[in-house]
Amino acid sequence: MKAKHLKIGIIYFFAWYGSCCCTIAQIRVIDNKGTLQQVDPTVDALENNESNTRVELSSNSDGSSRLAGTEFVIGDNGRVGIGTSTPSTRLDVRTGNLRLGAYSNNRDDTASTSVLNILYTNAEGVVLSAPVAVVSVAATAIKTAEFAPSSSFNVNTLGSSAKNFFGTEISNDGAVSNTNASTITINEAGIYNIDFNCYFSSFGNRSAPMATLVVNGSNTRVRAATGYIRNGSGHNRSSWNFHYTRRFDVGDSIRIFTEREAGSNTTNIDTNFTTFVITKLGL
């Protein structure tokens, strides 16, 4: 039987001097033909950095210095840093991505419903992944409409009745429509905001008109009142203002009823300073 040629290579002995790992001796082993085997003679220096209380890999496999961003350190506090020499957590990875394992991410941002895998830790601190259904909701454009009365009228009337506050359409994005001068109809279901302002003048003492927002024929909890209008020394003007937000359905109707609470004196609105703005905020 022929003897086989054994390729053993070189055996190194190392010693620590302070914080540096150095080669102090080596044994060269050759095969039975007297040929020194070619091996990688370079050494990765695992440095004991006492002043910074860590062990770190200070050179590359070819003996060259490691560049910034390629650091690998293990602190005495148990923190491991990759790409940083000062890890702030148990595992601190910088300047790159971290792959924890292969798992399927089936999310499709073009679909109404998709699946997204998220990572979480259990009670033992093990990192796990789990699928979570993600529902995409299309953005809803804000739509607004503004109306004003087409002519002045008396709001201080006996008995509650709808008034023609919506005779003139100033602007409209289509979510609502003015069925007639006294009625707004909802065309698109959603959450709406209403802003109403009415400015008027009284022609007698102690007028006190009030306004109520009515939806589908029923009073809401929105009401504006003036108290007595003196009609003396120039004190003959007042105004109503209210702000209201609620959900409306298609076909809902909105009207504003007015009536008098005190004197029967005529109180006419000023069409230049009366406006009703309704804005669709969302679904």
Domains with residue ranges and CATH for the chain? 9-93 (no CATH), 143-282 (2.60.120.40)
**Is the per-residue pLDDT at 168 higher than 60?**
yes
The Cα 117–Cα 129 span in angstroms is 6
**Position 237 confidence tier, pLDDT thresholds 50, 70, 90:** confident
**Is the per-residue pLDDT at 128 higher than 60?**
yes
> What does the pLDDT read at residue 67?
85
Distances (CA, A) of 29 to 11, 12, 43: 8, 11, 18
Q: If you average pLDDT over every residue of the chain, what do you get? A: 81
**Position 13 confidence tier, pLDDT thresholds 50, 70, 90:** low
| Contacts of 219-227 spanning 24+ positions with Cβ under 8 A | 219/257, 220/244, 220/246, 224/196, 224/198, 225/261
> What does the pLDDT read at residue 2?
47
**Is the per-residue pLDDT at 16 higher than 90?**
no
Mean pLDDT computed over 274-278: 97
> What does the pLDDT read at residue 1?
43
The Cα 210–Cα 212 span in angstroms is 7
Contact 73, 88 (CB under 8 A): no
Question: Which of these ranges, 81-90, 165-174, 194-203, has the smallest mean pLDDT?
Answer: 81-90
Phi, psi of 216 (to 5 degrees): 55, 35
The Cα 266–Cα 283 span in angstroms is 42
